[in-house]
Amino acid sequence: MVPKRWARRAVTRNAIKRQIYQVSAGAELGAQQAAFLVRLRAAFDKARFPSASSPALKLAVREELQRLFERAK
């Protein structure tokens, strides 16, 4: 879930969702079959991430997701 109040622009929300799909598909969760709910709980700073397609935003999202999926193992 990527609420509009944390990521105002649709292009940013969609970029974040794409990162979620990519990381979750590549996550090795072993034999565990489960459904995960990933929820954005804080806003992204517009000054730090000026564009939805910026490499900095993609890297920040990917690193956070990888940490979350590591904890889920």
Q: What count of Cα atoms within 13 Å lies in the side-chain half-sphere of residue 55? A: 0
Q: What is the DSSP string of 28-45?
A: --TT----------SPPP
Q: Which amino acid is at 20?
A: I
**Domain range holding 56?**
10-39+46-72
32-65 residue pLDDT tens? 677 778 887 777 777 888 888 888 888 988 988 8
Contact between residue 65 and residue 25 where contact means Cβ atoms under 8 Å apart: no
In-domain check, residue 28 = yes
Is residue 1 in some structural domain?
no
Let me know if residue 63 belongs to a domain.
yes
Residue 5: inside a domain: no
- Determine if the pTM surpasses 0.85: no
Residue 50 in domain: yes
Residue 3: pLDDT band with limits 50, 70, 90: confident
Residue 52 lies in a domain: yes
In a domain, 62, yes or no: yes
Q: How many domains does the chain have?
A: 1
Selected residue with higher pLDDT from 28 and 17: 17
CA dist 61 and 23 (Å) reads 10
pLDDT exceeds 70 at position 17: yes
